[in-house]
Structure 1
Amino acid sequence: MAVTQQLARVPAEYLAACRKSADESPDGDHHWDPPSSDCLDLDWAPALLAGACRLAQLDDVHLDALRWASEGDTEVDLGFLNAYPHAIGPFGPPPTLLSPEAVARVSALLGEIDIQAIVATLPADRHHAGSLFGRGPEFIPDGLAEYLLRHFDALRKFYGEAARRGLLIVLWWD
Structure 2
Amino acid sequence: AGGHTGEIGSMSLIPQVVDAVGDTPVLGAGGMGDGRHLAAAMALGASGIWCGSVWLTTNESDCEDALVEKMLKASETDTARSRCISGKPARQLVTTYTKAWEEPDCPGFLPMPLQGLLTADAERRIRRHAAAGTPESAELLGTPVGQVVGMMKTRKPAGKVVYDFVEGYIDAVERLKSMLPED
Q: TM-score, normalised by structure 1?
A: 0.26
Q: Which has the higher contact order (CA 8 A, sep 6+)?
A: 1
Q: Give the number of the structure whose alpha-carbon radius of gyration is greater.
A: 2
Q: TM-score, normalised by structure 2?
A: 0.25
